[in-house]
Protein backbone atom coordinates (compact mmCIF):
# COMPACT_ATOMS: atom_id res chain seq x y z
CA UNK A 1 0.00 0.00 0.00
CA UNK A 2 1.58 3.26 -1.12
CA UNK A 3 1.30 6.32 1.08
CA UNK A 4 0.25 9.45 -0.73
CA UNK A 5 0.49 12.11 1.97
CA UNK A 6 2.45 12.47 5.20
CA UNK A 7 2.03 15.41 7.56
CA UNK A 8 2.92 16.41 11.10
CA UNK A 9 0.59 17.80 13.73
CA UNK A 10 1.70 19.03 17.15
CA UNK A 11 1.11 16.70 20.08
CA UNK A 12 -1.36 18.73 22.12
CA UNK A 13 -1.85 18.33 25.86
CA UNK A 14 -5.26 16.76 25.17
CA UNK A 15 -3.89 14.18 22.73
CA UNK A 16 -0.99 13.43 25.09
CA UNK A 17 -3.54 12.68 27.84
CA UNK A 18 -5.55 10.45 25.49
CA UNK A 19 -2.45 8.52 24.43
CA UNK A 20 -1.17 8.15 27.97
CA UNK A 21 -4.55 7.12 29.40
CA UNK A 22 -5.42 4.68 26.59
CA UNK A 23 -8.30 6.65 25.10
CA UNK A 24 -8.14 5.55 21.47
CA UNK A 25 -9.32 7.53 18.48
CA UNK A 26 -10.83 6.07 15.33
CA UNK A 27 -8.13 7.80 13.26
CA UNK A 28 -5.25 5.90 14.91
CA UNK A 29 -3.45 2.95 13.36
CA UNK A 30 -4.39 -0.27 15.16
CA UNK A 31 -0.89 -0.56 16.64
CA UNK A 32 -0.58 3.10 17.65
CA UNK A 33 0.46 4.16 20.21
CA UNK A 34 3.65 2.18 20.71
CA UNK A 35 5.23 1.89 24.14
CA UNK A 36 7.56 4.75 23.19
CA UNK A 37 4.59 6.95 22.25
CA UNK A 38 2.91 6.26 25.60
CA UNK A 39 6.16 7.06 27.43
CA UNK A 40 6.57 10.40 25.63
CA UNK A 41 2.91 11.31 26.17
CA UNK A 42 3.39 10.51 29.85
CA UNK A 43 6.35 12.91 30.00
CA UNK A 44 4.16 15.66 28.55
CA UNK A 45 1.39 14.88 31.04
CA UNK A 46 3.82 14.92 33.98
CA UNK A 47 5.28 18.26 32.86
CA UNK A 48 1.82 19.77 32.72
CA UNK A 49 0.85 18.25 36.08
CA UNK A 50 4.01 19.75 37.59
CA UNK A 51 2.97 23.19 36.36
CA UNK A 52 5.56 23.35 33.58
CA UNK A 53 4.18 24.98 30.47
CA UNK A 54 3.89 22.75 27.44
CA UNK A 55 3.92 25.10 24.51
CA UNK A 56 2.96 24.55 20.91
CA UNK A 57 5.76 24.62 18.39
CA UNK A 58 6.27 27.79 16.39
CA UNK A 59 8.16 28.41 13.16
CA UNK A 60 10.89 30.08 15.24
CA UNK A 61 10.95 27.32 17.88
CA UNK A 62 9.73 24.03 16.38
CA UNK A 63 11.28 22.10 19.28
CA UNK A 64 8.69 23.33 21.80
CA UNK A 65 6.35 20.41 21.19
CA UNK A 66 6.48 16.90 19.84
CA UNK A 67 4.68 15.96 16.64
CA UNK A 68 2.37 13.18 15.58
CA UNK A 69 2.87 11.61 12.16
CA UNK A 70 -0.23 11.39 9.98
CA UNK A 71 -0.16 9.20 6.86
CA UNK A 72 -3.19 9.27 4.61
CA UNK A 73 -5.32 10.70 7.45
CA UNK A 74 -4.27 7.99 9.93
CA UNK A 75 -2.11 8.63 13.01
CA UNK A 76 0.83 6.22 12.66
CA UNK A 77 3.68 7.56 14.80
CA UNK A 78 5.51 10.37 16.45
CA UNK A 79 8.59 12.48 15.91
CA UNK A 80 10.22 15.68 17.00
CA UNK A 81 13.22 17.49 18.31
CA UNK A 82 14.68 16.11 21.52
CA UNK A 83 15.61 19.58 22.82
CA UNK A 84 16.44 23.04 21.56
CA UNK A 85 19.61 23.65 19.56
CA UNK A 86 22.99 23.32 21.25
CA UNK A 87 25.73 25.97 21.26
CA UNK A 88 26.92 24.80 17.84
CA UNK A 89 23.42 25.17 16.30
CA UNK A 90 22.83 21.42 16.14
CA UNK A 91 19.44 19.94 16.95
CA UNK A 92 18.69 16.26 17.52
CA UNK A 93 15.64 14.52 16.10
CA UNK A 94 13.85 11.31 16.99
CA UNK A 95 11.07 9.42 15.23
CA UNK A 96 9.06 6.23 15.39
CA UNK A 97 6.38 4.69 13.21
CA UNK A 98 3.91 1.95 14.18
CA UNK A 99 5.12 -1.39 12.84
CA UNK A 100 2.08 -1.80 10.57
CA UNK A 101 3.15 1.30 8.66
CA UNK A 102 6.89 0.80 8.45
CA UNK A 103 8.77 0.32 5.17
CA UNK A 104 6.45 2.67 3.29
CA UNK A 105 8.59 5.83 3.29
CA UNK A 106 6.60 7.42 6.12
CA UNK A 107 9.58 7.84 8.46
CA UNK A 108 11.66 9.34 5.66
CA UNK A 109 8.86 11.80 4.85
CA UNK A 110 8.47 12.72 8.55
CA UNK A 111 12.23 13.27 8.91
CA UNK A 112 12.16 15.49 5.83
CA UNK A 113 9.38 17.55 7.40
CA UNK A 114 11.50 17.99 10.55
CA UNK A 115 14.45 19.02 8.38
CA UNK A 116 12.18 21.56 6.66
CA UNK A 117 11.43 23.08 10.07
CA UNK A 118 15.08 23.21 11.20
CA UNK A 119 17.06 24.30 8.15
CA UNK A 120 15.41 27.72 7.64
CA UNK A 121 16.68 28.48 11.15
CA UNK A 122 20.24 27.59 10.11
CA UNK A 123 20.28 24.48 12.28
CA UNK A 124 22.26 21.33 11.59
CA UNK A 125 20.11 18.27 12.24
CA UNK A 126 21.63 15.25 14.01
CA UNK A 127 20.28 11.84 14.93
CA UNK A 128 21.52 8.77 16.77
CA UNK A 129 20.82 5.19 15.76
CA UNK A 130 21.73 1.88 17.22
CA UNK A 131 24.45 0.23 15.16
CA UNK A 132 22.16 -2.66 14.21
CA UNK A 133 19.10 -0.54 13.31
CA UNK A 134 19.59 -0.66 9.55
CA UNK A 135 16.05 0.54 8.78
CA UNK A 136 16.56 3.77 10.72
CA UNK A 137 19.96 4.24 9.13
CA UNK A 138 18.34 3.93 5.68
CA UNK A 139 15.79 6.58 6.65
CA UNK A 140 18.61 8.96 7.57
CA UNK A 141 20.71 8.20 4.47
CA UNK A 142 17.63 8.68 2.26
CA UNK A 143 17.13 12.04 3.99
CA UNK A 144 20.62 13.30 3.18
CA UNK A 145 22.37 12.48 6.47
CA UNK A 146 25.94 11.26 6.61
CA UNK A 147 27.68 9.28 9.33
CA UNK A 148 29.12 11.79 11.70
CA UNK A 149 30.71 9.93 14.56
CA UNK A 150 30.52 6.76 16.52
CA UNK A 151 30.73 7.01 20.31
CA UNK A 152 30.83 3.26 20.90
CA UNK A 153 30.15 -0.04 19.19
CA UNK A 154 26.39 0.23 19.78
CA UNK A 155 25.51 3.75 18.51
CA UNK A 156 26.12 5.84 15.40
CA UNK A 157 25.57 9.59 15.11
CA UNK A 158 24.29 11.07 11.86
CA UNK A 159 24.45 14.66 10.64
CA UNK A 160 22.67 16.73 8.00
CA UNK A 161 24.05 20.23 7.61
CA UNK A 162 21.80 23.24 7.22
CA UNK A 163 21.55 24.05 3.52
Compute CA distances 80 → 51, 65, 115, 118, 142, whole Å: 22, 7, 10, 11, 18
pLDDT (0 to 100) of residue 121: 95
Alpha carbons 46 and 68: distance in angstroms, whole number: 19
CATH homologous superfamily of 6-160 equals Gcn5-related N-acetyltransferase (GNAT) (3.40.630.30)
pLDDT digits (tens, 9 = 90+) for 2-13: 667 999 999 999
Under 8 Å CB-to-CB from 16, ≥6 apart: which residues? 41, 44, 45, 48, 54
Read off the pLDDT band of 47 (50, 70, 90). confident
Nearest CA-CA partner of 67 in 97, 105, 30: 97
pLDDT (0 to 100) of residue 163: 64
* Residue 86 or 150, more confident: 86
pLDDT (0 to 100) of residue 2: 64
Amino acid sequence: MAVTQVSLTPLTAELAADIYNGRRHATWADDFPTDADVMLAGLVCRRIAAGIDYENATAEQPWLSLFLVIADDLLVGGCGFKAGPDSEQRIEIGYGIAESHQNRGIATAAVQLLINLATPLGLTVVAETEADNLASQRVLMNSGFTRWQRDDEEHIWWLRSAQ
